Structure 1
Amino acid sequence: MKAEILITDEVESGLAEELFRQAADAVFEELEIEFEECEVSLLICDDAQIKELNREYRQKDYATDVLSFPMTEDPYTEGGMLGDIVISLDTAKKQASEADIALEREISFLFIHGLLHLMGFDHELGQEEEEEMFTLQEEILLKLVKSGKVA
């Protein structure tokens, strides 16, 4: 079953829904999960809006690249609405430019990162968790790149 990605694009990014669907499929395939029903809400916004959300929900007064808001304690068994992901297009563009990579690749990376958070991964819990999460997101992105789904 493919994940339903509910996209609100506040900045008219022009990013294709298929980009996010393929990234979600790759995450669930890597985690060996098959949901009967699965939804993820995605907001694509600017730095001002993500800064406001970061300040309100994390008490951090700066723009960031991606935020995640899980909706379930046990996403592996519950499925349904997994949660919300917010990506700043402004920051993604800066990071893609600095890394000299395509914007779609950076956006895919951020979406994968956010989705892993929704699935219970948390790099802020310690070194071991950070290494596990970052290794996993790199592996998933690399598979998408090698398959030609992401530039």
Structure 2
Amino acid sequence: MKINLFNNYGKISFDSEKIISAIADYFSELEEAGVVLVDAEEIRALNREYRKSDRATDVLSFPADGDYLGDIFICVEKVFSQAEEYGHAPEREFAFLVVHGLLHLKGYDHCTEEEESRMIAKQEEILNAINYRRNV
């Protein structure tokens, strides 16, 4: 899989390209996706426009058609605040949000308990495989 990284945020304290590369290597499909790093203001505007929710969120996925799966927008401030809240490294939180967004683009959802269980299991499988376990 090819994942294009666009940093609209600026300098961050971890190697986002290394994490993106590990996630892309996990998937063998000939698909492509984009990951865009943004600040809280930009993700709030996107959330307001496309989801009708006037608040900053951690990740938004916008599916496309064909081999290009779509784009994932990640709020960098949320990466750091949620990592602190959940007691793990920002790298792990970033990896989680990228995987979560990719799974949405690949058709996973969490609207029902069954869907949520399936998605959580797949997220953990991928994060464990690329060595970004919860305790990292």
TM (norm. structure 1) is: 0.80
Deviation at 1:145, TM superposition (A): 1.8
Residue in structure 2 matching 1:40, options 33, 38, 46: 33
- Partner residue in 1 for 2:103: 116
Alignment coverage as a number of residue pairs? 133
2:60 corresponds to 1:25: no
- Write the distance in 2 (CA, Å) between the matches of 1:6 and 1:144: 18
**Which 4+ residue blocks in structure 1 deviate beyond 4 angstroms?**
none
- Write the distance in 1 (CA, Å) between the matches of 2:32 and 2:90: 24
- Write the distance in 2 (CA, Å) between the matches of 1:109 and 1:131: 15
The runs of 5 or more residues in structure 1 that have no matched partner are 29-33, 73-77
- Partner residue in 2 for 1:75: none
- Write the distance in 2 (CA, Å) between the matches of 1:48 and 1:108: 22
Moved more, 44-53 or 136-145: 136-145
The runs of 5 or more residues in structure 2 that have no matched partner are none
Deviation at 1:55, TM superposition (A): 0.7
2:78 corresponds to 1:49: no
Percent identity reads 42
- Write the distance in 2 (CA, Å) between the matches of 1:130 and 1:99: 19
- Write the distance in 2 (CA, Å) between the matches of 1:146 and 1:82: 23
- Partner residue in 2 for 1:133: 119
- Write the distance in 2 (CA, Å) between the matches of 1:100 and 1:19: 19
TM (norm. structure 2) is: 0.88
